[in-house]
Chain A
Amino acid sequence: MTTRTRSRTRTRTTPAARFGLGVAVAALLVFALFPVYWMVSTALDPKALTRGADLLPSGVSFEHFTFAFEKGNFGTYLLNSAIVGFGTILGAALLSLFAAVAVARFKFRFRTSVLLMILIVQMVPLEALVIPLFIQMRDYDLLESLLGLSIVYIALSLPFAIWTLRGFVATVPKEVEEAAYIDGASWFRMFRSVLLPLVAPGLVATSIFAFITAWNEFVFAYTFMKSSDNYTAAVGIFQFFGENSTAWGPVMASSTLVTVPVMIFFMIVHRRLGSGLAAGAVKG
């Protein structure tokens, strides 16, 4: 730490500073990636439980994945998660696009209040919502239902989606819209043929983020889904935990299956979401 700060100009980096930088980079890479590595390598290790402190797996086999699918019914859980995820995308993308156009393109009374409310509402803790929503969903017979879960996730992902999309809509030049009006287009025609294609990249990014929200969520899925056929993937891993012993091989295999899609999606969107994330909307 002390060596690397000695000189700031890149041209005059001393060997000691270079060494310090190298050590710092190595430490960062190990800290950031080790849990991922340990997860994947345990998932592939045929002798996962007796692995101990061996850094390399004792071999490579897919038996834990096979076990998760055949004995653990994990295929169903992944499918449930995917269904809920796409339901969330559909709802969140549509609703947030309309709302984002409204707050980015129109001036109206209470506009600031609406934006503030959207900002505040996402700070609400899920644990506070889960009690009343559980009762509400029970009354509407929507427990144990993928639709009920999707509806909740649409609400959870909406504030961030609106907040982010609003930035994308605002970057579309007004002149483009005006040109459409001059050509005689109605507002809806303009929306469909001009605005929608231009904000499509932003829409993809927010959709992916809504999907990740739904895919990762635990509290609601755990509380709403009590019969094992309806588990989402995040909840389904839980069943490999036994009373006294845990089958760590299948747990890590199913964790890998849950984690990998999220990581891929995350890498795709992170650049596009940069400004939105900095605006402080993403949930932890």
Chain B
Amino acid sequence: MKDTLTRGGPDPQTRRPPPVQPPAPDTPARRRKRLITRTRPWLLLAPALLVLAGLLLWPMIQVGKLSLQEYEVRFGGGVGTYIGLDNYAELVSSELLWKTVLPNTAFFAFACVGLTVALGTLVALLLNRLGTTWRLICSLAIMAAWAMPAVTGTYVWIWLFQPGDGLFSHLAEGLGLIDPETTNWFTQRLPFYAIATLNVVHHGFPFVAITVLAGLLTIPKELYEAGMIDGANAWQRFWQITVPTIRPVFLVVTILSTIWDFKVFTQIFLMPGGDGSNPDVFNLGVYSYIEAFAENDYGTGAAAAVLLTLLLLAITIVYIRTLFRQGEEDL
């Protein structure tokens, strides 16, 4: 074992000992070699870990620190004074947070997750029924939806719903549903978030569809044949056979969608009024950003950011536990 270690082989457990290997004494040269082998993985990891620590971990610590400070921007730098939990106190006592920001964030996320998973599953079931050619065509189409960048996708949806000029405004006007002079879907909370939901679901369902399809392909056909012999209809077969068999896949896509949809920022921020001019449509991410960069209140912004991070961390822990329980991830 020790001998193979000193050879510099990467994995001592599986490497066969080399054919000629005299039981050499523990010379300084050998010790040096062993040291190299021990430290090599860390040397390889070091650059990546340094970058991650400097640009992701350290800022997270900073944002925690900032949330406990009153941060003043001055010429050539800023000065922070510790004020304890005042920022948090201000945050949780604000009516905006409880009446607007948190409900917006939570309802929007749940609507997006529910619709994304439902639509993605339906599309996966459809793809599963198709022949090779049509499956390829449909896969390429949903890949296009998936690949659409959040920024440009959002602009297209704004354009489609643009008051007066947009396609859907014209259609609704033609059907006599709205008065084009007075209707602006972006100024009210509910239509605003309905459009944002459409945008996020359109961008998110391909991932669910592709992942669930991969799961569906692993289910043995015999299970369905047995189900049909027992007289189960399609609805029953879906709930009694498909869902329980690939439950882990559903769990993973649901949790991941939840994580992503709680932190939607760009799609809200770029919509008319989403950049701070309409507080009714704030979600937690936008609120934090506006507090920090528009109001210059970095402390409160940081406190909101910490709140969002803790929320996501809780969901992430559930996610990782799910991964481990199903033993899919062979760490």
Contact = CB atoms under 8 A, between A and B. Distances in A.
B256 A131 contact: no
B250 interface: no
Contacts of A238: 270
Given A36-B144, A53-B171, A98 B48 contact: yes
Which of A178, A270, A284 has its CB near the most chain B CB atoms (within 10 A)? A284
Interface of B is mostly: helix
Contact of A282 (B48, B54, B207): B207
A177 to B, nearest CB: 7
A134 B51 CA distance: 16
B265 interface: yes
B63 A266 contact: no
Chain B, interface size category, equals: 35 or more
Contacts of B259: 123
B184 interface: no
Contact of A52 (B138, B167, B270): B167
Which of A24, A49, A139 counts the most B-chain CB atoms under 10 A from its CB? Answer: A24
Interface string B208-250: 0011001000000000100010000111011000000000000
Interface stretch (B83-91, B185-193, B313-321): B313-321
Contact of B44 (A53, A101, A181): A101
Contacts, number: 312
A278 B138 CA distance: 19
A174 B12 CA distance: 11
Given A4-B129, A8-B228, A278 B152 contact: no
Interface string A121-132: 101111111111
A127 B55 contact: no
Given A266-B147, A277-B211, A284 B316 contact: no
B14 interface: yes
Interface of A: 1, 4-6, 8, 10, 21, 24-25, 28-29, 31-33, 35-36, 38-39, 42, 49-53, 91, 94-96, 98-99, 101-103, 105-108, 111-112, 114-121, 123-136, 138-139, 151-152, 154-155, 158-159, 162, 174, 177-178, 181-182, 186-187, 212, 215-216, 218-219, 223, 234, 237-238, 246, 248, 251-252, 255-256, 258-259, 262-263, 265-267, 270, 274, 277-280, 282-284
